[in-house]
Structure formats: C-alpha cells, structure tokens
Structure 1
C-alpha cells in the first residue's frame, strides 16, 4: 500500500492507495491555521485504521513536494522521511499543483481537450500565486491586470486556495473563467504517484528537501511569466 501526504497548504491531507491506484481511505482536515504538527500522525493512524492496515503494510510514501507553505512542507517532509527510513521503503514526491489540476480535470472534463485551460493556484501570499506555466512547470505569478493577457482567452478554470483572490482581477476581463477555491488533496496525487513509482523516479530519502520555489527578494517580486512586459 502507498501512503500519500499533502501538507503544502492549510489542508492537512492523508490518503492510502493500493499499488494499482485505488484510493481506499483518505482524510482532509483544513483550518484557519497550521495544525499539521499535531494532527498529521493522527490522521495517518486514522487512515490506516479505516483501511484495516498497519504501517508495516506500506510499500512506498508520497509527499507533496511543494511549492506552498514553508512550515507545512517541512512537517510533511519530516514525517514522510521518518516513515521511509524506519520501514526501508521508497519515497516519491508528486506536485500539489498537479494534484489540483487533476481535481480540476475531474470537475470540468470538458476543459481537458484544450491545453492549458485548467490553472492550479496555490496561495503565495500578497497578490502572488504558485501555478503551472504553459510547459507544465511550477512558477510564481503576480496576479494583476496583465495576468489574463498572459494566460490567454477562452473557457478556463482557476482552482486552488489562491484562486479567490484572483477573482477581482479576472472578472472585469472575462466572463467565461470559473474560479474555484480548493485545497490540494492527497487523494488527487495518486495518478502522479503511480507514474513516478512505475518510472522508478524515487527520491533520496536522506537528501530530499521540499521544493519551496519562492525565493523572492522583499519588494522585488520575480515575474517569470512576463506579466509586466507589454504585449507587442
């Protein structure tokens, strides 16, 4: 069985899946503040109990690698590495952004056939979000009037805990965008986790560190999507 942990946001999320991809138990617990340190191992025990399993039944652990909350990522990573080390099992690191995109595809399957119409958005504080660029790579973006110009037109879904603060910027520009507040969930990491395991793309348990991404200099935010560059 595969244990999946997602702690990049205020949602402390745990799931248990079979090696063929069936999610057999999950718990999601979101609050107004991070309680991951006190709740994560309790949720792991609850999920195992629901499935009638024990830690000795685990064959791999998946940890949402980030980007997201520094505190949440460190707590989740520490737990995942501890379990892997204790049991001698592999660690893989799927993306919470990909998990949000997967959830969006389940909710709005009509958008899947057109590339880049489901945009995950994890809150990066201030008016910034973590999202995926057009090549599917994680990036930090400034939410401003140029945001829509960079992302293009047509029906689309913006999904994540950073989606709502984009609403005021998007509404004046378009009426065919849907904004859906949601947290990344461990159960939505199952597809990428299976792919990583099948491809033997495991992490070095001792050396693995979360993917924080955000290394902005205060007052000088990066602009990786070129949102402030005028369109020729």
Structure 2
C-alpha cells in the first residue's frame, strides 16, 4: 500500500489530496480568483492529513503538479513538496499538469482531449491526449489561430478543456470540437498517475528538481 500526498497549485485552484494506491481518499481545494496558495496550501495539507487520520510519518511519497502554469503557483507547490520530501526522506514525484487535467474527461475510440491553460493574450499552454491518457502531441506554448489543432479535425470528437478553452472557442470553427473553460487542474486526478510513477520508481531529485515553466517569467510593470 502507498499513501501519497498530491499537490496541485499550477492555476488558481489550490488543491490537495491524499491517495491510497491509485484511489483518492480525501480532497480539499479552493479555486479563488486571486492566488492564495501561500496562505492556503500548508493549511490544506495539515487539514487533509488530520481528516484522513494520518500523520506526515504515514506518507510514502509526495506528488506535485510540475507545470506548465502560473510561475508563482508552481514555485509554491514545488517548494512545499521538496521541503516535505527532504524532511521526511521520502520520494518526490512530478505530474504533468496537462496530463492530470486530461484524466478529467472520459473518452473512447476516435476521440482526443486537448487541455489548454490560459497564457497571455491569445496564447495557451496545450497538449493532446488519447483515451489511454497517452500524450499524442507534446506540450507547447502556442498562439491560437484558425488553423490550430487542424490535424485533429478529422477525429470523431475533440474535447478542449481548461482556462484557455474560451479563447479557443472564439477562433476554432471545427464542427467536432467541444469547449469547456470551467475545468481546472485538481489533485484528485493526480492519484492514478502518481501511483503508477511510485510503482515504477520514477522519482525526482529533490535537490535539483524545478517546475516546468515552459516560458520565462515576465514581470508585469505598473501602468502609468
């Protein structure tokens, strides 16, 4: 049996779960308009363990959403995960944010899921997954235009999900595409992937692991 603490902070959703093997046994999250991960994350971790009647010493590993996503959110989540793994001497597991998002949509046959996270202007972070949650097109930062994802326009159905779906729906006119901008990354969907990686001992180096930012951080200056 493996008890894994899963942390998701790549977007505005501050999400923490405890999983036993591949099953989520407890979830606590809050999707606030303003990022409040620095205030909420450690509180959620403490409350989740208490509600599950567990202590830190019961944990076998910590899994963290590695990005892409919010620079600040990723830094907070990864820092917390690394601190716990170092102090408890347990493995660190990283989960691609878009992969766990794709698990929210159950598809079959000739369908794909395209999780998209909003970036600046008409840009999104995106990847494409099939019915087995296998990546069939790599993660990219891309500017959406009328020809984006054209290679998937022959599929029976394409599910575009995530915070970038609204801007995609304004541009993409493929008849087989559906859009859901309400879907957010959550620690609930991390459980299956984190347990797979735990079994296969796909662990990160706690000292050197960094989030997958995909793009350099740009500081926004104040307008005059």
TM-score (normalizing by structure 2): 0.87
Match of 2:115 among 114, 120, 125: 120
Q: 1:177 aligned to 2:182?
A: no
**Corresponding position of 1:164:** 166
Tell me which moved more, 68-77 or 138-147: 138-147
Which of the two has greater helix per residue? 1
Secondary structure at the aligned position of 2:159 is classed as strand
TM-score (normalizing by structure 1): 0.84
**Corresponding position of 1:12:** 14
Which of the two has greater strand per residue? 2
Q: 1:92 aligned to 2:88?
A: no
- Over 3 Å counting, the alpha-carbon distance change for 1:92 and 1:136 in structure 2 is farther
Runs of 4+ in 1 over 4 A off after TM superposition: none
Tell me which moved more, 131-140 or 44-53: 131-140
**Corresponding position of 1:81:** 82
RMSD: 1.7
Instruction: Report the alpha carbon displacement of residue 216 of structure 1 after superposing the two structures with TM.
Output: 9.0
Residue by residue over 1:48-82, the C-alpha shift from the partner in whole angstroms, topping out at 9 and shown as x without a partner, is 12211111111100000101000000000010001
Residue by residue over 1:14-68, the C-alpha shift from the partner in whole angstroms, topping out at 9 and shown as x without a partner, is 00001x2121101121111110001000111121122111111111000001010
Q: How many residues align?
A: 208
Structure 2 unaligned regions, length at least 5: 129-134, 219-224
Structure 1 unaligned regions, length at least 5: 218-232
- Over 3 Å counting, the alpha-carbon distance change for 1:21 and 1:140 in structure 2 is same
